[in-house]
Amino acid sequence: MPQFESFHPRVRVSPDAAGLKMQASKPFVVVSSRGAALSLALFVALLLLCSAVVASAEPPSTSPDGYDSSLARSVRHATARYRLVVWARLDGYVQSTDYIPSFGTMYVNHERFNPASLEQPTVLIYDAAGRLTGCGYQFRTGDPVLAQLSRAASTGWYDIPSHVHYNIAIDGKLYYAQQPWHAADAPTRAALVERRLMPANATLRYAFFHPPTHAIVIWAWLPNPNGLSAAENPSLP
pLDDT confidence tier of residue 220, bands split at 50, 70 and 90: very high
Residue 64: per-residue pLDDT: 73
Please give the pLDDT value at position 151: 74
For the chain, the average pLDDT equals 79
134-163 tens-digit pLDDT: 999 999 999 999 999 987 655 789 999 999
**What is the pLDDT, as a whole number, of residue 36?**
33
**Residue 29 vs residue 59, higher pLDDT:** 59
Q: What is the pTM of this model?
A: 0.76
pLDDT tens-place string over residues 58-81: 344 456 789 999 999 999 999 999
What percentage of the chain carries pLDDT values higher than 90?
68
Q: What DSSP string runs through the chain?
A: ------S-TT------SSS----TTS--EEEEPTTSS-EEEE-S-TT------PPPSSPPPSSTT-TTSHHHHHHHHHTGGGSBHHHHHTTT-EE-S--BTTTBEEEE-TT-SS-SSTTS-SEEEE-TTSBEEEEEEEEETTSPPPHHHHT------EEE--EEEEEEEETTEEEEEEEE--TTS---HHHHHHTTSS-TT-EEEEEEEE--EEEEEE--SS--TT-TT-S--TT--
Q: What is the pLDDT of residue 152?
A: 65
